[in-house]
Chain A
Amino acid sequence: MRFAPSPAEILHDFRADENLLVDARGVCMNFKMPTERIDNLKEYAIKFLKRKIKYKKFEVLKDVDFRVPRGESLALIGRNGAGKSTLLKIISGIIRPTSGIVLTKGNVVPLLKLGAGFDYNASGKENIFLNGAMMGFSHREMQQKYDSIVEFSELAEFINAPLKTYSSGMVSRLGFAIAVDVNPDLMLVDEVLGVGDIPFRKKCADKIEELKKTGTTFIVVSHSMSQIMTLCQKGIYLENGMIKMQGDIKTVANAYLADCKALEEAAAKKS
């Protein structure tokens, strides 16, 4: 059996290596879900006494190991339900894995849903400050960012109107503008890059490119292969919660596309 380093040793090595942003080892995530949803006491008591609460175990992630060095953006690809989004949430610290070690360094900004935490009764302006607070910026710090956020989102005319009067595109634009105005070390992106109309998308792509130049590393979940190819250097192909392949983005993406094609053909044959 291989000698397994203790968490303390892993932590020490991780601290020593300045260039390593993420170190994940043996990450497992299990959900133990009751087969029926029980959310009231009466049912719970009855089922508990009858010992009828059955749990079904879902293994969302199994022994996932990977490292992300600074400047080497990573793409997570795989079919729906492969565990990509769960992995992102674990890296960002939103949920804890069932077991395993996840170490991150620097300022990590999760961008999992645009406009998470927006208050639709408040104005756009109030929401900028509220959302900034949730990313850890004080009112004063947000004041300095405010102008550039409004300018980027192109919402200057509507910024004092309540958010519920905005179109969904406008909400996304505001969310995106706030999120990218932070210069993080590591940004975790879950399928949110294709928002707004075509000119705005171009603007987003430029902004991402700019962030990349200033040293932000990305971990991206996306189904748009062209976007991934331009943004990322490395890829991880997840299948049923396990890493099927990891390495250079082109190889991994081609393997995934080949698998998808094979599936398509198999489906075509059946019908």
Chain B
Amino acid sequence: MASQTKKNNTFVLNIRSFFSRFRRGTITLVSLVVKSVKNQYRRSALGILWTVLNPLLNMLVMAFVFSSIFGRSGIDMDYPVYVLSGNIVFSLMSAATTNAMTSIVSNYDLLYKTRVPYSVFPLAQVFTAVVNFLFSLIALVAVMLIRIPNGVTFHWSMLMVFVPWLPAMLLFSMGIAFFLCTVYVRFRDIKHIYSVVIRLWMYLTPVFYSLSSLKLGDTAMQIMELNPMLHYLNYFRDVICGVIPDWKANAICYGVGLTSFFVGWILFRLSRNRFILHI
């Protein structure tokens, strides 16, 4: 009998739980996001204002440093807007993934003592990054307003940042987030590796320079085009400048986003039962 039960699959079920687990998950997710947004600037005098100020100040530094080093060749956008848009898009992805990476391990206590779905923890970090991104958009709009005398104009297509751009970007970040937090449970080195990877990735993405100014050969250009962030960033800048991206840009962003999401999610699902053994 004993050997027979061992062959049986595990079967655990709370009859009411499908809906209630989902509900519990969403409520927890929302409150975790609120908590971490609040915690970022707890006890700072300017509080939530920092979420707007931070990207602004970063932009000033980058605009000052890089416009004099790299020059503005090949950029037909207003340079501060160019740098700021690159910066907030890239930091959305990098903050979401970097913070999500450690979320499973650092929430060990919750994971082991309460009945919250595991996926809530990386997702909470991703959505916190989204909230910060939305605040950064305010900064972007402010800079664009200031730069109106320099020829910046507003376009309705800017609203495409919310749909369809943001969901695709989110899927991509979530996929990486799930992947990283799963691997991090097993191998803590990934934290150090990823911090180098993300820096390299940022420099390979035209955040503050333009690809055309690099004067790359065809092969090098094709390699650069393999960088998904390049496409997300181009899409973002296009809609800001009033260019409506063609079907190909949409296909790339959603194709990469969905692939990333499913690969990350499946890996996460397959490994999550073993998380507690390794934390």
Given contacts A99-B8, A130-B35, contact A39 B27 (CB under 8 A): no
- Could you tell me the dominant secondary structure of chain B's interface residues? helix
Chain A residue nearest to B25 in the complex (CB):
A136
Given contacts A26-B5, A40-B187, A134-B116, contact A105 B12 (CB under 8 A): no
What separation, in Å, do the CA atoms of A141 and B28 have in the docked complex?
14
Given contacts A2-B1, A110-B115, A117-B114, contact A31 B31 (CB under 8 A): no
Offer 13 A-B interface pairs, CB within 8 angstroms, sorted by A. Answer: A7-B9, A26-B2, A40-B189, A93-B12, A97-B10, A103-B11, A110-B113, A113-B113, A116-B114, A122-B38, A126-B38, A134-B31, A136-B24
Partner among B11, B114, B188, B277 whose Cβ is within 8 Å of the Cβ of A94 = B114
Chain A residues in 8 Å Cβ range of B17: 93
Residue from B14, B24, B38 whose CB has the most chain A CB atoms within 10 Å? B14
Given contacts A95-B276, A116-B109, contact A134 B30 (CB under 8 A): no
Chain A residues in 8 Å Cβ range of B31: 129-130, 133-134, 139
Interchain CB contact under 8 A, B15 and A94: no
Per-position binary interface string of chain A over residues 20-57, scored 1 when its CB falls under 8 Å from any chain B CB and 0 otherwise: 00000110100111000001111010000000000000
B155 beta carbon closer than 8 Å to chain A: no
B269 beta carbon closer than 8 Å to chain A: no
Residue from A62, A63, A96, A110 whose CB has the most chain B CB atoms within 10 Å? A96
CB-based A-B contact count at 8 angstroms: 143
Chain A residues in 8 Å Cβ range of B32: 130, 133
A229 beta carbon closer than 8 Å to chain B: no
Given contacts A26-B5, A28-B5, contact A101 B11 (CB under 8 A): yes
Q: Of residues 90 to 108 in A, which have CB atoms within 8 Å of B's CB atoms? A: 90, 92-108
What separation, in Å, do the CA atoms of A246 and B263 have in the docked complex?
46
A137 beta carbon closer than 8 Å to chain B: yes
Given contacts A41-B187, A93-B115, A133-B28, contact A117 B12 (CB under 8 A): no
A251 beta carbon closer than 8 Å to chain B: no
Q: A28-B5, A92-B115, A107-B20 are in contact. List 19 more A-B contacts (CB 8 A).
A: A7-B9, A25-B5, A33-B277, A40-B187, A41-B189, A63-B2, A63-B5, A94-B113, A103-B12, A104-B13, A110-B114, A113-B109, A113-B113, A116-B110, A117-B114, A122-B39, A126-B35, A133-B28, A135-B114
